[in-house]
Chain A
Amino acid sequence: MKIFDPTSRRTGPATLQLAPRPASLQGLRLGLVDNRKINAAAILEKVADRLAARHGTRVTVRDVKRSPSHEIDAKAIAALKRDADLVISGVGD
C-alpha cells in the first residue's frame, strides 16, 4: 500500500521574488491599495499624510479593489510596479 499526496504541486514558482527593500523612505513614491474594508481608506490616507510629513513621500497611485475578497487586478499591479516605490494596503475594521 502506498500514500497518495492530495496536495496540488503548483506549476508556478514556489517562492516569489520580493522587490528590493528601500534603504530610506525619503521622497519615495507611494501606492495606496484600498481593500474596501470599513475605514481602510481613512487609515491609508492618514498613514500617507504622516509619511509625507515625516519623509516627504508623495502618493502616486491609488487603487480601490473590487472588494476585500477579490484579487487586485493586473492593471493596478502594473501601475504600482511602474509608478510606486512603496505600497501600503491593510484592513481598517
Chain B
Amino acid sequence: MSETEQVGDPAGLIEAYYDAGWTDGLPVVPPSDASVAAMLASAGVEADEVVGEIHGRNAVVTGESLAINAVMAGCRPEYAPVVVAAVKSLCHPDFAYHGPASSTGGSAMVLIVSGPIARELEVNSGHNAFGQGHRANATIGRAVRLIMMNALNTKPGFLDRATFGNPGKYTFCFAEREDTPWEPFHVSRGFRADESTLTLYASNSLCQVYNQLAATPEAILLCYADALYNLGSPNVYGFNQSLVVMGFEHADVMRASGWSRRDVQAFLVQHCRRRVADLKRAARLPGELVAEDETTWRHGFESPDDLLIVCAGGAGSWSAVLPGWGKKWTRAITTRI
C-alpha cells in the first residue's frame, strides 16, 4: 500500500488529506487497509493494474489509486464496478479527455447509470435525481472527480482551467428511470436490456425547462430547443452531442402522442436553430448584417444522434437540457459495468 506517514488523531487524519491537496474541498473518508482491499476486490482489478491511461499526459489510473479515491469519496465497495466503468469511459480515446477536463468551459462529468445495477445500488433516478441525499449518486460521481484530480493530476488552476466550473464538478451521477416510453437509453446505444452500463458525458451546464400547460410534444420540445440554443451558447458553429433529461410528466405526453425517441431527436434537430441575424447582432458570428441573415437559419445539430435522450426525475412539469462541451471534440462513452 501507499501510506506515507503515521497520523494518530482521526480529525488530524482528515486534515492531513487537506494538507496534501488531495480533497475536492469537502472532508474525505480516510482509507484503511481493509476498506481499500474491499474496494479493490469489488472492483475486480489488481492494485498495480492500469485501469485507464491518458497517454498525452503520462498519467494512469491504477487499481490502487481508483480504490483509494473511491474510499475517500465515501463509496461502498459495491459501487466500485461503476467507478471502473467511468474511468474506462474517461480514458477512452473518443472521449478526448484533455478538453473536457481542462477547458475554460469547466464541464461536469455526467454519469448516467442504466440497467439493473441502478436498482441494486439504489442510484436515484427519481425525485431530486441531480440533487443531494443519495449515497450512490453522491459518492460515485465524487470518486470520479477525485480520481481526475489525484490520479490524473487535473487540479483546479493547473490542468483544470475552468473559468467558473460548475457545482456538477463535485459530483454528477444519476440513473435512468425504468418507466420510460421508449427502450432504455443503454439499449439505444447498442447494449442489451439486461446489461448494466455507465455513460460518461461532458456537460458545460444544466438548464431546467418548465412547461406545465403543454399537451403536445411540439410545445414541450420547442422549449427544449430554445434552451439548447441561447445566444451565449459556446458552440454556435455546430454543437456537440447534447443531453436532454426528460421528466416523466413530459415523457407521458410523448407516450400519449405516440412519439418515439427518434421523433423527439428529429424535432429538436429541426427546431434548435437561430437566425444568422440574431447571431451577428450578438457578435457571435462575424460580419456585417445583410438582408438575407433575417431569413437564414443556423441549426445547432446535424443529426438526431447528436441528441441523447434519457428519462429521469420526479413529479413536476420539468425537464433539463445539458448542452455538451466542445464542438464535436468529445463523444459520450458508454461502458458495460
Contacts and interface: CB of A to CB of B under 8 A. Distances in A.
B59 interface: yes
B139 to A, nearest CB: 15
Interface residues of B, number: 50
Interface in A27-79: 38, 66-72
A2 B30 CA distance: 9
A7 B98 contact: no
A69 B107 CA distance: 13
B43 to A, nearest CB: 14
B65 A70 contact: no
A72 B158 CA distance: 21
B329 A69 contact: yes
A3 B72 CA distance: 11
B61 A8 contact: yes
A6 B98 contact: no
A8 B1 contact: no
A3 B326 CA distance: 38
A10 B60 contact: yes
Interface string B52-95: 00011011111011001101100000000000000000000100
A12 interface: yes
B149 to A, nearest CB: 9
A9 to B, nearest CB: 8
B318 to A, nearest CB: 32
Chain B binding surface SS class: mixed
Interface stretch (B5-13, B208-216, B251-259, B262-270): B5-13
B120 interface: no
Contact of B22 (A2, A6, A10): A6
A1 B10 contact: yes
A11 B56 CA distance: 14
Nearest to A11: B60
Interface residues of A, number: 22
| Most chain B C-beta atoms within 10 Å of own C-beta, residue among A6, A13, A72 | A6
Contacts of A2: 1, 3-7
A7 B57 CA distance: 14
Nearest to A13: B58
Contacts of B31: 4
A71 to B, nearest CB: 4
B151 A7 contact: yes
B96 interface: yes
| Most chain B C-beta atoms within 10 Å of own C-beta, residue among A3, A10, A38 | A3
A5 B93 CA distance: 27
A80 to B, nearest CB: 15
Contacts of B17: 3
Nearest to B100: A69
Nearest to B149: A6
Interface in B15-59: 16-17, 20, 22, 30-32, 36, 50, 55-56, 58-59
A8 B60 contact: yes
B36 A69 contact: no
Nearest to B96: A69
Contacts of A11: 50, 60
Interface in A8-32: 8-13, 16
B72 A6 contact: yes
Interface of B: 1-8, 10, 13, 16-17, 20, 22, 30-32, 36, 50, 55-56, 58-62, 64-65, 68-69, 71-72, 93, 96-100, 103, 146, 150-153, 237, 326-330
Top 4 nearest A-B pairs (CB, nearest first) are A69-B99, A2-B3, A69-B96, A67-B329
13 contacts: A1-B10, A1-B30, A2-B3, A3-B16, A4-B36, A6-B65, A7-B65, A8-B61, A8-B65, A8-B150, A9-B2, A67-B329, A69-B329
